């Protein structure tokens, strides 16, 4: 179902509505955007992440990650990042400029961990090996080797993305449309 919106007053709330839906619906195409950050060499580094929570009022998007993940160190060194969402159903691309912060401990992390530790994803945060670590020779997965039994401490962390600016693009046979918006501004752009 395509949504044809006419004005900024229509488009802005619909973008946030779709983001909110994506955080709740695992089949929504915006559930798994690409997050691009800058690595230690100043080069772009991109990966798919899972949108977990949306706070419209605060302009915040929340993701979960392993505190040992390379993206954590990257975002702690340089919080500026870009998220890219695509929906074939809507024919919308959304590029979101954000500033990220990573929360690795404290009451919020522990409260969210209580829910995650009951899920199949818990093992990802209990692995003794960090994401991207080289596996011992002959292993195809961290779970394939008894030496990689889960630890009792988790590496669960919360990644918070403060939305600074959005670039919305709608592809349509009637003509493409593009707009750039921040919390208080709106500009139509050439698609």
Query: For the chain, what percent of residues have pLDDT higher than 90?
Result: 80
Give bridge partners of residue 159 from the DSSP assignment.
63, 102
CA dist list (Å): 88 to 30, 178, 191: 10, 16, 17
Average confidence (pLDDT) over 84-97: 97
Q: How far apart are CA 156 and CA 122, in angstroms?
A: 9
State residue 49's pLDDT score: 98
pTM of the entire structure?
0.90
Average confidence (pLDDT) over 48-73: 97
| Segments making up each domain of the chain, as ranges | 8-131+149-189
The DSSP bridge pattern shows strands 44-48 and 156-170 to be unpaired
Average confidence (pLDDT) over 61-77: 97
What tens digit of pLDDT does each residue of 135-165 get? Answer: 887 677 655 444 456 667 999 999 999 999 9
- Write the CATH number of the domain with boundaries 8-131+149-189: 2.30.110.10
């Amino acid at each position: 179902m395509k949504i044809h919106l006419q004005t900024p007053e229509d488009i802005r709330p619909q973008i946030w509505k779709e983001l909110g839906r994506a955080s709740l619906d695992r089949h929504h195409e915006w559930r798994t955007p690409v997050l691009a950050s800058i690595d230690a060499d100043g080069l772009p580094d991109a990966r798919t992440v899972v949108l977990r929570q949306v706070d419209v009022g605060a302009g915040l998007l929340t993701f979960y990650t392993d505190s040992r993940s390379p993206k954590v160190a990257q975002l702690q060194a340089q919080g500026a990042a870009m998220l890219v969402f695509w929906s074939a159903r809507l024919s919308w691309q959304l590029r979101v400029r954000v500033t990220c912060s990573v929360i690795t401990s404290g009451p919020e992390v522990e409260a969210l961990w209580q829910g995650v530790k009951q899920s199949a994803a818990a093992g990802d945060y209990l692995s003794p090996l960090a994401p991207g670590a080289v596996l011992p020779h002959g292993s195809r997965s961290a779970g394939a080797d008894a030496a990689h039994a889960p630890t009792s401490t988790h590496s669960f962390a919360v990644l918070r993305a403060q939305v600074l600016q959005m670039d919305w693009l709608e592809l349509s046979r009637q003509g493409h449309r593009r707009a750039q918006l921040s919390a208080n501004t709106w500009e139509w752009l050439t698609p």
